[in-house]
Chain A
Amino acid sequence: MANKVFHVMYDDDQKLLDAATALVKQGIQVKDVFSPFPVHGLDPIIGVKRTRLAITSFMYATTGTLLAILGTWYFMIHDWPMNIGGKPNFTWIENAPAFVPVIFEFSVFCGAHGMAITYLLRNGTLPGMPASNPDPRTTDDKFVMEIVTEDNHAFSVSDLEEKIRATEVFELSIKDC
């Protein structure tokens, strides 16, 4: 039997949420949802875990802090110490207050850009990438739930279709995948 993919379209986020709750309760696995905006409360229902991007941001920012500390020490203390206005230049720690702004800015720089780049790479959203939403209306006002038979071996195709049709479907398309 060929695998089939169901694209179930809803015209309201509440209908989508109700349908997802009902289907998941019956043991049907929802592969993905395409929506024009983040539907709050959907993620735990369809089993999307919270992203760990915030942790990566912390790691990038810490790297930035360390690099800035290393840089200011190397440029100002080690490689070419200069007596500028009599400000201390013998040890990094004596001079550290003057370096705080640059260390802070560089940490933010690394934290923000590192996370943004990771976000784009993990999403696969990069310049020139093709769009993969099944219907152009999903970026306007329609919500599409993607269910594949591959994930739901316990149900036959007609069984699945019957259960899906029981929700407030706006449009349903069934394709081979």
Chain B
Amino acid sequence: MIKEAAIRKPLILGHKTYHDITNDVVGPIEGKAPRQWKIAISIAAVIALYGIGSIMYLVGTGIGAWGLNKTVGWSWDITNFVWWVGIGHAGTLISAVLLLFRQRWRMAINRSAEAMTIFAVIMAALFPVFHMGRVWQAYWTLPLPNQFGSLWPNFNSALMWDVFAISTYFSVSLVFWYIGLIPDFATIRDRMVKPRAKKIYGILAFGWSGRAKHWNRFEEVSLVLAGIATPLVFSVHSIVSMDFATSIIPGWHATIFPPYFVSGAVFSGFAMVLTLLLIMRKTMRLEAYINMAHIEYMNIVIIVTGSIVGVAYLTELFISWYSGVEYESYAFINRFSGPYSWAYWMMMTCNVISPQLFWFKKIRTSLTATFLLSIVVNIGMWFERFVIIVTSIHRDYTPGAWGEFHPSVTDIGMFVGTIGIFFTLFLLFARYFPVLALNELKTILKVSGESYKNSDKH
């Protein structure tokens, strides 16, 4: 048996057995839905319905229902898209990159982070799809033979790269998540007493039996998927940043964009994981599995990525001046002192200054502070995208065309609505799915479990 260094913090607290892990994760699924869950999902569903209503109104009216105008042709829609895609980066980063680095703490958080990723990417995809206006022709983005000649999509375009990047990322994340879920569904299937639930989980478990050869393949598939999902994580947000960087708009046309966007994505993704997990561990009593060690590690990731983002902001600012290009420098002077300077300073405070508080161990290991700062980071990252998109285009080369953006009710409805849909999906996941990778956790119990680490017997 491999012994872990004593200096490492235990990842599973208390005196747990294999059976306890099963009980702690599957127990909440077997029991009746708690009152808080019913209240939470009702609120989320109402907001989701409002969002769906806004989307229906948008499709019926046309995207003129958004507050876009001739000058500001991209605003909340693309801001929300990039924000959600960014949030969707933590899941695969946790499950793939941390798997390659053999970080055992990922096992307690990867399942819910991946679920969050999948739901966030669905929310993200809604925006460009509805931005097309004629949403029923969304399939035109695929290279399908057609009656026009055939006329093909333009593979030179960053928007086309995005279609491939997002759809690959979504489908690969989904498969990665589901392959990990199969053995856990089998555990639920074998415990369920009610025939209907047993049948449903039986179908979801794909007949998994836990044979030695199957586990052998399972581990290999997880490792290889992690290996190919890792460059995928980095490529997706790089390509999202190229939607901007390959244009020639001052403020967008920057080579720093891909790494800057990727670290921003990881930053916001971890913040969202923390927001969700801090609530989940409390309400589902998972404190033994998602403990202070996990929260501290995630906060450290937030400091690192937050600092990279901060350096990127300052580099951008410096280069705009150092380039000597008048338009480039104006774009940035306008950012921090123009009509949208409030958004710029909001972004600076939330993303650069506030995460630095995590250098203090007391703040890093405080649940309340972590929860509040995670929300601050989410707000800050939304503003980052808003600043990049709107401030770069609202004052273009012709001062006569300068304008500002004012969100319409539909803009707000669709944004708030996606938060509602996201939480509805996440709450359904938390209720019916194994929220921890329970069978993977069993493999680290003897290595990183508190009771095993502290006894010499094993």
Min CB gap B175→A, angstroms: 5
Instruction: State which residues 83-113 of A face B: CB under 8 Å.
Output: 84-85, 87, 95, 98-99, 101-102, 104-106, 108-109, 111-113
A-B Cβ contacts below 8 A, count: 203
CB-nearest residue of chain B to A137: B190
How close is B289's CB to chain A, nearest CB, in angstroms?
Answer: 15
A79 and B152 within 8 A (CB): yes
Q: Please state if B191 and A115 are interface contacts (CB–CB under 8 Å).
A: no
Q: Which of B153, B160, B217, B229 contacts A119 (CB 8 A)?
A: B217
B183 and A139 form a contact (CB under 8 A): yes
Which of B198-206, B319-327, B328-336, B378-386 is the contact stretch? B198-206
B143-173 CB contacts (< 8 Å) to partner A: 143, 149-157, 160-161, 164-165, 167-168, 171-172
Whether, in the assembled complex, B342 has its beta carbon less than 8 Å from a beta carbon of chain A, the answer is no
Complexed CA–CA distance, A126 and B178 (Å): 12
- Which residues of chain B are near A43, meaning CB under 8 Å? 212, 216
Q: Are A131 and B207 in contact, CB atoms less than 8 angstroms apart?
A: yes
Tell whether A162 is near chain B: CB-to-CB under 8 Å.
no
CA distance A98 to B219 in the complex (A): 36
Interface residues of B in 214-270 (CB under 8 A from A): 214-221, 223-225, 228-229, 231-232, 235, 239, 242
| Interface residues as binary, B171-206 with A (CB distance below 8 Å gives 1, 0 otherwise) | 110011001001100110111000000000011111
**Which chain B positions have C-beta within 8 A of A105?**
161, 164-165, 168, 232, 235, 239
Give the interface segment out of A44-52, A152-160, A163-171.
A44-52
> A109-127: which have CB < 8 Å to B?
109, 111-113, 115-116, 119-120, 122-127
Residue ID in chain B nearest A52 by CB atoms:
B220
Instruction: Point out the residues of chain B lying under 8 angstroms from A59, CB to CB.
Output: none
- Interface assignment of B208: CB less than 8 Å from any CB of chain A: yes
**Chain B residues within an 8 Å CB radius of A61:** 228
From B14-22, B305-313, B356-364, give the one contacting chain A: B14-22
A21 at the interface (CB under 8 A from B): no
Please, how many angstroms separate the alpha-carbon atoms of A133 and B153 in the complex? 50
- Does B283 sit at the interface, judged by CB under 8 A? no
- A129: CB under 8 A from chain B? yes
Smallest distance from the beta carbon of A84 to chain B beta carbons, Å? Answer: 5
Per-residue CB contact flags for chain B residues 75-90 toward chain A (1 = under 8 Å, else 0) read 0000000000000000
For the complex formed, measure the closest distance between the CB of B264 and the CB atoms of chain A, giving whole angstroms.
19
Q: In this assembly, does A175 line the interface, its C-beta being within 8 Å of a C-beta of chain B? A: no
Total number of A residues with any Cβ neighbor in B under 8 Å: 66
Q: Mark B14-56, 1 if CB is under 8 A from A, else 0.
A: 0001110010000000000000000000000000000000000
A residues less than 8 Å from B207 (CB atoms) = 124-126, 128-132
Residue B440 CB within 8 A of the other chain: yes
| Nearest CB of A to B457, in Å | 11
Q: Knowing A57-B228, A75-B155, A80-B149, say if A125 contacts B182 (CB, 8 Å).
A: yes
Confirm or deny: A35 has a beta carbon within 8 angstroms of a beta carbon on chain B: yes
Determine the chain A residues whose CB is within 8 A of the CB of B17 once the complex forms. Answer: 141
Give A109's nearest chain B residue, CB to CB. B168
Would A108 and B232 count as touching, CB distance under 8 A? yes
Q: Are B209 and A98 in contact (CB under 8 A)?
A: no
Nearest residue (CB) in A for B160 is A102
Contact check: which of A76, A108, A123 meets B156 at CB < 8 Å? A76
Q: Is B439 an interface residue (CB 8 A)?
A: yes
Output the least CB separation between A129 and chain B (Å).
3
Cβ-closest chain B residue relative to A135: B190
The answer to whether A139 touches B190, judged by C-beta atoms less than 8 angstroms apart, is yes
B-contact bits for A23-44, CB 8 A (1 contact / 0 none): 0000000001111111110110
A47 nearest in chain B by CB position: B212
B228–A123 touching, CB < 8 Å: no
Minimum CB distance partner of B229 in chain A: A112
Known: A53-B217, A128-B203. A35 touches B210 (CB 8 A): yes
> Is the pair B218, A38 in contact by a Cβ cutoff of 8 Å?
yes
Residues of A bordering B, CB below 8 Å: 13-14, 32-40, 42-43, 46, 48, 50-51, 53-54, 57, 61, 71-72, 75-76, 79-80, 82, 84-85, 87, 95, 98-99, 101-102, 104-106, 108-109, 111-113, 115-116, 119-120, 122-133, 136-141
* Contacts A105-B164, A139-B208 known; 15 new A-B pairs at CB < 8 A: A37-B183, A37-B210, A37-B215, A38-B219, A51-B216, A76-B156, A84-B154, A102-B155, A119-B221, A125-B206, A125-B214, A127-B204, A129-B207, A139-B187, A141-B18
Q: Which 5 A-B pairs have the closest CB atoms?
A: A129-B207, A141-B18, A136-B190, A75-B152, A38-B215
